[in-house]
Chains A and B, each alone.
Chain A
Amino acid sequence: MEAQKNELLQKFELYGCFQCGKCTGGCPVSLKSKLNIRKLMIEVLLRENLSNMIQRDELWDCTTCKTCTLRCPRGLEPMDLLIGMRALSVEEGHIPKTIIEALEGAYKYGNPWNAAKNKRSDWANELELKVFPQGGKAANLYFVCCTAAYDTRVQNVGRSLVQCFRQIGYDFATLGNDETCCGSEIRRMGEEGLFEMLMEGNIESINKYDIRSIVTTSPHCYNTIKNDYAQDGLEVRHYTQILAEAIEGKNPFSGEMRKVITYHDPCFLGKQNGIFDEPRQILQSIPGVTFIDFDRSRENSLCCEGGGGRMWVESSDQGPRLAEIRVQDAVDMGAEILATACPFCLLTLEDAVKTTGNEEKLRVMDISEILVEVL
Chain B
Amino acid sequence: MEIIVCIKRVPKTAEADLVIDKTERDIEKEGLVFDINEWDNYAVEEAILLKEKYGGTVTAISMGPEEVNETLRRALAMGADQAIRLTDPGFEGSDGYAIARVLSRAINPLAYDLVLTGVQAEDDGYGQVGPTLAELLGIRHVAIVNQIEGIENGRARVHRELEGGLDEVIDLELPAVLTIQTGINEPRYVSIIGIRKVAQKEIKVLGLQDLGMKLEEAGEPGSMTVVEKVFFPPVGEGAQMLEGTMDEISDKVIAILKEKGGVA
Contact = CB atoms under 8 A, between A and B. Distances in A.
A109 B189 contact: no
Interface in A50-104: 90-95, 97, 99-100, 103-104
A107 B193 CA distance: 13
Contacts, number: 52
Interface string A237-263: 000000000000000000000000000
Contacts of B78: 93
Interface of A: 90-95, 97, 99-100, 103-104, 107-109, 114-119, 152-153, 191-194, 196-197
Nearest to B16: A116
Contacts of B191: 90-91, 93, 191, 193-194
A215 B16 CA distance: 30
Interface residues of B, number: 20
B15 A109 contact: yes
Contact of B189 (A100, A114, A117, A118): A100
9 contacts: A91-B191, A91-B194, A97-B186, A104-B35, A107-B192, A108-B33, A116-B17, A153-B246, A193-B196
B189 A95 contact: yes
Contacts of A99: 189
A153 B250 CA distance: 13
B31 interface: yes
A193 B192 contact: yes
Given A108-B33, A114-B15, A118-B31, A93 B190 contact: yes
Interface of B: 12, 15-17, 31, 33, 35, 78, 186-196, 246
Nearest to A110: B33
A363 to B, nearest CB: 13
Nearest to B14: A114
Contacts of B33: 108-109, 117
A96 B120 CA distance: 25
A153 B246 CA distance: 8
A152 B250 CA distance: 13
Contacts of A153: 246
Contact of A93 (B12, B188, B196): B188
Contacts of A91: 191, 193-194
B188 A94 contact: yes
A285 B143 CA distance: 68
Given A104-B189, A116-B15, A192-B193, 15 more contacts: A92-B188, A93-B189, A94-B189, A97-B186, A99-B189, A100-B187, A103-B189, A104-B35, A107-B192, A108-B33, A109-B15, A118-B31, A152-B246, A193-B195, A194-B191
Contacts of B195: 193
B35 A194 contact: no
Nearest to B188: A93
A108 B196 CA distance: 16
Given A117-B33, A193-B196, A90 B15 contact: no
A54 B78 CA distance: 18
A95 B195 CA distance: 17
A152 B12 CA distance: 23
Given A94-B188, A109-B33, A117-B33, A193 B246 contact: no
A90 B77 CA distance: 13
Contacts of B187: 100
A344 to B, nearest CB: 18
